[in-house]
Amino acid sequence: MNALRSSALTRRIALLRRAAIAAAALLAAAWLPALAAFPDRPIHVVVPFSPGGGTDAVTRMLSVGMAQVLGQPVIVDNKPGAGTIIGSDFVAKSAPDGSTLVMATFAHAVNPALQPKLPYDTDKAFAPVALIGVSPNVLVVRMASPYQSVADAVAAAKAKPGTLTFASQGNGTSAHLAGELFKNLAKVDITHVPYRGAAPAMTDLLGGQVDMMFATGSAARPFLDSKQMRALGVTTERRSLALPDVPTMAEAGVHGYAAESWYGLYVAAGTPRDVIDKLNAAAKQAVKTPAFLKQADSEGLNVDVGTPEQLGAYVSAQEARWRKVVQDNHISID
């Protein structure tokens, strides 16, 4: 009798085990199509700036191409404020499913050094997707300026320490830190004059209230095209495709100089790798469209989409470089 009960119990356990395996298989079968279906809803790309600027324009053009590849709308959401922190924080706290991205810029790499109490850990809160491209800042002066070259500006700064001025669109911006790096490497003393935005800074540069500015390519381009300003040097390691006749700062005599603006897509940390790969592939296709390439040319943007790992390594190096400049020059946010 005991043998019969034991045999029945064994058969019952075997049946339960097979049922459990079958249920698990059905659950997996239901789950896999859901993963494979990404994206199954609109994608949102947060621009942490107001509409109308260079970052906004590049992101909107990129979103058109990405939507065509992904088969879902790609919507640009402007969330400006606090030096890009508001928009970045929104993405850091979003669901890690690939449906919300941020178009990160220079500020993403600089904020950890400038902002000791960020609401997120930059290195842990985000996962890199794709570097879209890099662009130079341009050292510009008004056409009436006596400075015809970088060497002229350096000589004047050394002759009268502390008297020459350079404008920026605010403390901690690419224009500001590009000027601080220039001070360090050229060993000159020039005075920083921060403004609330690029437009008033450029207005005062044209009016002679300040001597020079390391303007972004997009801000400088209209004034260079209209011959209201003169470009003395670009800040990237290589010459800009948009300004091929303008030397790099290093070529102009400031050895070791390299500073650049950049655009890169990030998602919240924890986003599945296959989702990140699909977004990366979509970005690679989107930057090849004629419309995007035309926008990139107007921005002076050198398009260079690589792997997520390449973006991560690039931004880590940027963080280290600018942290040193911030510390050496005792830079803080007002």
Q: What CATH number is associated with residue 70?
A: 3.40.190.150
Whole-number average pLDDT of the chain: 89
Range name among 61-70, 121-130, 192-201, 262-271 with the lowest pLDDT average: 192-201
Domain shared by 105 and 189, yes or no? no
User: Into how many domains does the chain fold?
Assistant: 2
Other Cβ atoms less than 10 A from the Cβ of 92: the count is 22
- Whether residue 7 lies inside any domain: the answer is no
Other Cβ atoms less than 10 A from the Cβ of 75: the count is 13
- Whether residue 145 lies inside any domain: the answer is yes
- Whether residue 279 lies inside any domain: the answer is yes
Q: Last residue of a domain, which of 234, 250, 284?
A: 234
What the block records as the tokens of 152 is 């002229």
Range of the domain at 304: 43-135+261-328
Q: How far apart are CA 129 and CA 126, in angstroms?
A: 9
CA 232 to chain centre: 25
Domain shared by 72 and 102, yes or no? yes
Q: Last residue of a domain, which of 234, 249, 281?
A: 234
Q: How far apart are CA 174 and CA 84, in angstroms?
A: 13
pLDDT at 34: 42
Give the pairing type, strands 126-142 and 229-234. antiparallel
- Whether residue 249 lies inside any domain: the answer is no
Q: Last residue of a domain, which of 234, 249, 275?
A: 234
- Whether residue 220 lies inside any domain: the answer is yes
For residue 247, pLDDT over 90 is answered with yes
Domain shared by 149 and 283, yes or no? no
pLDDT grade for 334, boundaries at 50, 70 and 90:
low
Q: Which residues contact 236 (CB under 8 A, 6 or more apart)?
A: 134, 135, 136, 248, 258, 259, 260, 302
- Whether residue 89 lies inside any domain: the answer is yes
Amino acid at 48: P
Q: Which residues contact 234 (CB under 8 A, 6 or more apart)?
A: 136, 137, 138, 139, 240, 243, 246, 247, 248, 249
Tens digits of per-residue pLDDT, 44-74?
A: 999 998 887 788 889 999 999 999 999 999 9
More confidently predicted of 5 and 102: 102
Tens digits of per-residue pLDDT, 174-231?
A: 899 999 999 999 999 999 999 888 889 999 999 999 999 999 887 888 899 999 999 9
Domain shared by 129 and 268, yes or no? yes
- Whether residue 162 lies inside any domain: the answer is yes
3-state secondary structure (DSSP) of residue 43: strand
Residue 170: CATH number of its domain: 3.40.190.10
Q: Do residues 112 and 57 touch, judged by C-beta distance below 8 A? A: no
Domain shared by 269 and 130, yes or no? yes
Q: Which residue's entry shows tokens 């002759």? A: 159
Domain shared by 85 and 222, yes or no? no
Domain shared by 166 and 309, yes or no? no
Amino acid at 7: S
Domain shared by 66 and 127, yes or no? yes
Domain shared by 227 and 140, yes or no? yes
Domain shared by 123 and 269, yes or no? yes
Domain shared by 122 and 266, yes or no? yes
Q: Do residues 130 and 306 touch, judged by C-beta distance below 8 A? A: yes
- Whether residue 1 lies inside any domain: the answer is no
Domain shared by 142 and 206, yes or no? yes
pLDDT average, residue stretch 231-256: 93
Other Cβ atoms less than 10 A from the Cβ of 311: the count is 23
Other Cβ atoms less than 10 A from the Cβ of 13: the count is 10
pLDDT average, residue stretch 84-94: 96
Q: How far apart are CA 122 and CA 109, in angstroms?
A: 8
Give the pairing type, strands 74-78 and 43-47. parallel
Q: How far apart are CA 139 and CA 249, in angstroms?
A: 9
Q: Do residues 235 and 241 touch, judged by C-beta distance below 8 A? A: no
